[in-house]
Amino acid sequence: MSAAPHPLHRLYSEHHSWLQAWLGRRLRCTHDAADLAQDTFVRLLARPAALEGSEVLREPRAYLTTVAKGLLVDFWRRGELERAYLADLALQPEALQPSPEERLAAMQMLRAVDVLMQGLTPKTRAAWLMSRLDGLTQAEIAQQLQVSVPRVRQLLENAMRHAYRLRFGATQ
């Protein structure tokens, strides 16, 4: 007597082709659709508790669509970042153009900052940007955001904790 297949295996074998076709219609690129379909199942693999939920088994395509839509948003946002970076590079003289390795490193850094920014509340994001990009002091940020200086300190600490969790994993 053989053991029942893992729920993800069943979900993959029954719905992978459908999901890839669904993504293909939205992306108009079979390669990107195949990558995002795989990423959808990898995301599910990282959340085994989700597979035990009845929603996944009752409405598997609705659940897969929800997960895939989140990945699509990330994919499109990364594309916008890349296009903006490349457009900016096109304005630079050829002598100042970075090497392919430097371009890759810059794109990876932009993606990491994008992930960081998306995980922050609007006020935390604003405080962090004012501090890091505008060079404002905590008192100036407090005035801009109409909050107290201790609250600004707290917002900046939240941003740092979030960045630490992204880089090193959960804190204790």
pLDDT in tens, the chain (172 residues): 556 667 788 889 999 999 999 999 999 999 999 999 999 988 888 776 666 666 667 788 988 999 899 889 888 888 888 888 888 888 989 888 899 899 899 888 888 888 888 888 989 999 999 999 889 999 999 999 999 999 999 999 999 999 888 888 765 5
* Rounded Cα–Cα distance for residues 26 and 23 (Å): 5
* Rounded Cα–Cα distance for residues 77 and 32 (Å): 14
| 152 within 8 A of 127, measured Cβ to Cβ | yes
* Rounded Cα–Cα distance for residues 126 and 113 (Å): 14
Return residue ranges of the chain for CATH 1.10.10.
119-172
* Rounded Cα–Cα distance for residues 96 and 102 (Å): 12
For position 22, what pLDDT does the model report?
Answer: 96
| Structure letter (DSSP) for residue 119 | T
The whole-model pTM stands at 0.63
Q: Whose structure tokens read 């993606």?
A: 111
CATH code for the domain defined by 119-172: 1.10.10
For position 113, what pLDDT does the model report?
Answer: 83
| Both tokens assigned to 161 | 């904790």
Of the candidates 62, 1, 37, 4, which has an alpha carbon nearest to the alpha carbon of residue 29? 37
By three-state DSSP, how is residue 169 classified?
Answer: coil
Q: Within the chain, where are the H helices? A: 7-27, 30-46, 48-52, 54-58, 60-90, 100-118, 122-132, 138-145, 149-168
| 20 within 8 A of 33, measured Cβ to Cβ | yes
